[in-house]
């Protein structure tokens, strides 16, 4: 389970890097938990390395 925290934000994501991170993570999460699919080759950002 991924837990994304943006220490430089409050209740939500407004900064571009944080928005890109969540936009990249959501399709993968939905695919895993709702039985869907996502195109891994499109997702260029590795959410594990974003701080």
pLDDT tens track for 4-49: 888 898 888 899 988 988 888 888 888 888 988 877 765 555 666 6
Give the pLDDT of residue 4. Answer: 83
Phi, psi of 34 (to 5 degrees): -115, 5
- Read off the pTM: 0.60
Interatomic CA distance for residues 7 and 36, integer angstroms: 30
Long-range contacts of 15-24 (CB under 8 A, 24+ apart): 17/50, 20/45, 21/45, 21/47, 21/50
């Amino acid at each position: 389970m991924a837990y994304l925290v943006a220490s430089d934000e409050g209740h939500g994501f407004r900064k571009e890097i944080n928005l890109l991170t969540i936009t990249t993570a959501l399709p993968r999460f939905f695919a895993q938990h709702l039985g869907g699919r996502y195109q891994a080759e499109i997702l260029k950002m590795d959410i594990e390395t974003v701080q």
